[in-house]
Chains A and B, each alone.
Chain A
Amino acid sequence: MTPQPGESAARVGPPADIKAVPVHHPGRWLAAVVVLVLAAMLAHSLVTNPRFEWNVVWSYFLSGRVLAGLRVTILLTVVCMAIGIVLGVILAVMRLSENPLLSGSSWVYIWFFRGTPVLVQLLVWFNLAFLYPKISFGVPFGPSWLTGNANSLITPLTAAILGLGLNEGAYMAEIVRAGILSVEHGQSEAAQALGMSRAMTLRRIILPQAMRVIIPPTGNETISMLKTSSLASVITVTELLYAVQLIYSVNFKTIPLLIVASIWYLIVTSVLTVIQYYVERHYARGSARELPPTPRQRIWRYLTTFHTPPPAPVLAPPGTERR
C-alpha cells in the first residue's frame, strides 16, 4: 500500500543521524608530528641562537632611516603599479584592436619589455644620459621648446619609476587581455545591439566583468612589485633594502637588519592580501548568488549564533517521488 501524500505530515522531526565508526587516518597524525617537531626546532633556534640579535632587530625596526626607506618602497610600488595598470589597459585594448598598426606596436612593446631583464632596464634608464645627454620637448624633427640636461632630469627615483612602471605595463597588458577575452562574446553583441559604441561597451560592459579575472593576478603583481622594487637599490634609490644596506655597511649587523627588512616586507604583503580580498569581493557582484561573508562578518556570525545544527534536508515522503 502506498501512503497518501497527506500522511507524511504526521512524521515527527527529522530522522536520527547515522552513527558509524569513522575511517582512521594514521598518516595524517604522523605528518602532524613531523611538522610540529620541525616547527619546534625552528622556534628553538630563533630564540636561543644569539647571532639573530633580536635586540638589534627591534632597536632598528622603527628607526627613522628604515621607515624612510619603507616609505620609498611603498611609493615606488603604488606609482609603478598605477603606471603599469594604465599602460596595461591601453596596450591590451591596442593589442585586441583591428588596426594592425596598433596591435603590432603593442605586440612589439610587450615583446621588448618582457624580453629583457628588469634589472637591465633599470640600469639603462639610470644611465640614459650616456645615450641622450640632452632631452628636449618640441615638434618632431623641428624646433624644441624645452630642453633639459638628462642627468638632472632623470634622477635615480625617476629612473626606477620609469624602469619598473614601463616593465610592469607589459605584464599587466597580458593580464588585462586575458580578462577581456574571458568575457563571453554575447555580452559585446548584446551591448552593440542596444546601440552602444565599442568604447562604451568596453568601459561599461566588458571591463567590469573582466575585473574578476584581472584582480587576482594583479594582486600577485602588486606583491611582486613590492619586492622587485628592492632592485632599485642598485641604482642608489634608498628604498627599504638600500636603507638597511646603508646601515649594516657601517655597523656590520647584516643579518639582524635583513630581518628588519624582511619583517616589513611581510607586513606590507599581508596588508595587500587583505585589500585584494575586499577588491575581489566587490567585483564578485552578480557572479555568485550571494556574496561571501567578510572575515569580520564571519567572526560576528560565529559569536552571535548558537550552534544549531544545519536544517535537515527536506526529503520527499516515500511514494511521492517525482518520476
Chain B
Amino acid sequence: MVLAEGVYKSFGRLEVLRGIDLTVQRQEVVCIIGPSGSGKSTLLRCINHLEKINAGRLSVDGELVGYREQAGRLHELREREVSAKRAEIGMVFQQFNLFPHMTVLDNVIEAPTRVKKIPRSEAVELAGQLLDQTGMKEKSSAYPKQLSGGQQQRVAIARALAMRPKLMLFDEPTSALDPELVGEVLAVMRDLATSGMTMVVVTHEMGFAREVGDTLIFMDDGVVVETGRPQQVLASPEHERTRAFLSKVL
C-alpha cells in the first residue's frame, strides 16, 4: 500500500529524513516509534503530500505521491490531482484539528458532501454509522469545544473515515490527551485495525503497538533503525539505540 525508497527530506539545512525505506502491506498496521525530532511525523506528512520530499520515491497504492511519471520524467501534479489523492488517505492529528465553527455532524459530512459531492442525506447516514462506531452518536449536534479531548479525537477519526479512505495515518493521536482518556481513543483504533484498515500509527503507546501492530518501526535521527514484529522488537531489540530508547520509555 505504501512504498518508500530512499525518501529524503530537509527543511533548509536541517535533514529530517535521511533515506527512509518502508513497505506497508494492505491491511497491515504499522506503528512507528522513536524520540521526538526523529522524523516520524514528517514521514507521515510526506505520505499524503502535506510535505514535499526532496529525493527518493514514495508511492501509495502503486501511484507516486505528488508526481506523475511520463516518459521517464516526473511531472508535478496539479492541486486538484493532489487533493484527489489526499481524499483517499485519512489523517488524524495530535491536536485533533476539528473545525470549531461546525457541529460534530457537520465536521463529519463536510468533506463527503463538498469534495466527493455525495448527497447530504447519504452523508448524514454514513456519518451516523461512523459516529455510532466511535461512540459519539449522542454528541452529533455538539460543538467541538463542548467535548473532551478523547471525544474530539474520536470525532476526528470518524471525520477521516467518512471519506472511505484506503489508508489511515495517525500522528500521535493520544499524545495531547489526559491519561484517563487515552484508552477510549485506542479502543476505537483497535476496532478499526480489526476491521482490516491499513494503518500507519506514530505513537508512544507501546502497549497498543504490541497488541495491535503487525510491524514496529523504530526511527531515530531520520533513519529507520530497526523493523520487526512488535513483540520481538520490544522484548529483545537488536540495536543499541533501540535498547537505549526503550529503556527510557518502558
Interface residues of A (CB under 8 A from B): 184, 186-187, 189-198, 200, 204-205, 208-209, 283, 285-289
Q: Which residue of B lies closest to A200 (CB)?
A: B114
Which of A193, A196, A287 has the largest number of chain B CB atoms within 10 A?
A193
The residues of A that contact B52 with a CB separation of less than 8 Å are none
A-B contact count (CB 8 A): 77
The 17 sampled A-B contact pairs (Cβ below 8 Å) are A186-B97, A187-B97, A192-B86, A194-B86, A194-B159, A195-B84, A195-B87, A195-B111, A197-B83, A198-B79, A208-B101, A209-B100, A286-B101, A286-B102, A286-B143, A286-B145, A287-B100
Interface residues of B (CB under 8 A from A): 48, 50, 79-80, 83-84, 86-91, 93, 95, 97-103, 110-111, 114-116, 143-146, 156, 159-160, 163
- The answer to whether B80 and A197 have CB atoms under 8 Å apart is yes
- The answer to whether A195 and B145 have CB atoms under 8 Å apart is no
Bound complex: CA A285 to CA B142 (Å):
11
**A192-B50, A194-B115, A197-B80 are contacts. A288–B163 as well, Cβ < 8 Å?**
no
10 closest Cβ pairs, A-B complex = A195-B87, A190-B97, A194-B111, A193-B91, A286-B143, A186-B97, A286-B100, A286-B101, A195-B115, A195-B86
**A197-B80, A286-B100 are contacts. A186–B146 as well, Cβ < 8 Å?**
no
CB distance from B140 to the nearest CB of A (A): 14
Bound complex: CA A205 to CA B97 (Å):
11
CB distance from A8 to the nearest CB of B (A): 25
- The answer to whether A195 and B50 have CB atoms under 8 Å apart is no
- The answer to whether B101 and A192 have CB atoms under 8 Å apart is no
Bound complex: CA A22 to CA B79 (Å):
66
Q: Which residue of A lies closest to B87 (CB)?
A: A195
- The answer to whether B99 and A192 have CB atoms under 8 Å apart is no
Q: Which residue of A lies closest to B100 (CB)?
A: A286
**A200-B114, A289-B145, A289-B146 are contacts. A194–B87 as well, Cβ < 8 Å?**
yes
Bound complex: CA A289 to CA B99 (Å):
15
- The answer to whether A194 and B160 have CB atoms under 8 Å apart is yes
Q: Which residue of B lies closest to A211 (CB)?
A: B101
Query: Out of B50, B83, B111, B145, which one reaches A288, CB within 8 Å?
Result: B145
Given contacts A196-B83, A289-B146, 19 further A-B contacts (CB under 8 A): A187-B97, A189-B93, A189-B97, A190-B93, A192-B86, A193-B93, A193-B160, A194-B115, A194-B159, A195-B83, A195-B115, A196-B111, A197-B79, A197-B83, A209-B99, A285-B143, A286-B143, A286-B145, A287-B145
Bound complex: CA A195 to CA B95 (Å):
19
- The answer to whether B50 and A205 have CB atoms under 8 Å apart is no
